[in-house]
Homo-oligomer: A and B are copies of this chain.
Amino acid sequence: MSEVLVTVERGQLVESLHRGDIAIVSANGDVVSSVGDIEKVVFARSSMKPLQTIPIIETGAADHYHFDDGDLALACASHNGEKQHTERAASILSRLDLEVANLQCGTHPPRRQEAYEELIKSGGDVTPIHNNCSGKHSGMLATAKHMNETVDDYYKIEHPVQQRILSVISELTDVPVDDIQIGIDGCGVPVHGVPLRNLALGFARMADPSGLKESRQQSIRRVTDAMMNAPEMVGGTSRFCTDFMKHMNGKMFGKVGAEGVYCVGVPKAGIGIAVKIEDGNARATNAVIMEILSQMDLINEQEAEALESYHRPTLLNARKEKVGMLKPVFSIYQKA
C-alpha cells in the first residue's frame, strides 16, 4: 500500500497529506530502495516523453530536420507555452512543411499565467501550439513525415509512430508490449501503464545505457544531453524540471508526468527514480524527489540551497504571508 510521503501543514495542524510510492532501480534491474507498492501499474503520462523522443533520432528524422538540443528537449517537454516554446514548436513545424493545424493535441491556455495574459492582451488566440505537449506532437509529426507515413492520424495507437514508441518503451522498461496498459492522454495520444518499478528501470537505462546496443546508447545520450543542455525547453520559467536540471548542471535529468508522477535519471549512480502520488496531486512530487536525492546524498549543499523552495515548499496566501508548508515525511531506508 502507498505510504504517507508528504504532509501539508497549516498553523499547527496537518491539514492534508499525500500518500505515494517510490521505486529506485539500477540499470541492471536491481531495486536499490522502495517505499510503498512498486508493482503498482501507473500511467507514466508525460514522464515517458524522454523515452518517446528516442524514435525521432532512430528513424533519422532528427538529423533530417536538423533537430538541435532545444528541439529534442522540447519534444520531451510539458512546457509553459511561453514564446520560447511556441516559437520553437513553430520552427519545427515549418521545417516539416506543416502547420499548427496539423497538431492533433487540442488546446489549453498556456500553463504560465504571464504567458497567458500576454497572449490575451496582444489579441492572440489560444491554439494547439500553446498545449504543453506541442513539442512532443511536433516530434511525432517529424517521424511520420520522415518515414512517409500519414500525418492526420499519428495520434492513434495503431499508427507506426505510436507503435515505434511502444517498442522503445517495452525494450527499456522490460514490459512486453502486450502487457503495457494503454489509456488516452490529455493531449489525445496513448499513455503507457507499467509497474512503477519498471518505469524506474526505464529511467535507470536512460541514465546508464551502457548495457544496451551501441546505436541505442547514442540515441539515449542525445536525448538526455539535450534535456540537460536545454532545460528551459523542458518546462519553462519557475518550473521544477527546468530549475532542477539547471542547478544540477548535467548531473541528472528529471521529467514530470500528470497525476503526480515524477521520474529522475542519475547517470553517475546509474539509477532511475520513479514516484507516483496516489491521489495524483503534482504539488507533492518535487518535495519527494528532493528528499530522495537528499537522503541518498546525491545532492550537494549548494544545489540543496538553490532548490530549497522545491524541497520544502511554503504555502503563501493571497496576502503573500506564509501560512503553511509541505513537508516530506518518509524514509527510503526504513521499510514499512
Contacts and interface: CB of A to CB of B under 8 A. Distances in A.
Interface string A279-318: 1110000000000000000000000000000000000011
A274 to B, nearest CB: 15
Most B CB contacts (10 A, CB to CB) among A18, A104, A184, A321 go to A184
Contacts of A41: 13
A149 B187 CA distance: 54
Contact of A183 (B16, B185, B191, B324): B324
Interface stretch (A107-115, A166-174, A208-216, A243-251): A107-115
Nearest to A318: B106
A283 B113 CA distance: 21
Contacts of A319: 104-106, 187-188
Interface string A104-138: 11111100010001001100000010010000000
B281 A281 contact: yes
A12 B181 contact: yes
A182 interface: yes
A320 interface: yes
Contacts of A8: 259, 280
A76 interface: no
Copies in the complex: 2
A253 interface: no
B106 A279 contact: no
B43 A105 contact: no
B278 A17 contact: yes
Nearest to A190: B11
A279 B18 contact: yes
Interface string A179-214: 001111111100101000000000000000000000
Nearest to A6: B279
A15 interface: yes
Contacts of A221: none
24 contacts: A10-B43, A11-B184, A12-B181, A13-B41, A13-B193, A15-B43, A15-B183, A16-B259, A17-B278, A17-B279, A18-B279, A19-B279, A106-B318, A106-B319, A108-B318, A109-B113, A184-B317, A184-B323, A186-B318, A187-B319, A188-B319, A188-B321, A279-B279, A280-B281
Interface of A: 8, 10-13, 15-19, 41-43, 104-109, 113, 117, 120-121, 128, 131, 181-188, 191, 193, 259-260, 277-281, 317-321, 323-324
Given A10-B184, A18-B279, A184-B323, 7 more contacts: A13-B183, A107-B318, A117-B120, A120-B120, A131-B318, A185-B323, A186-B317
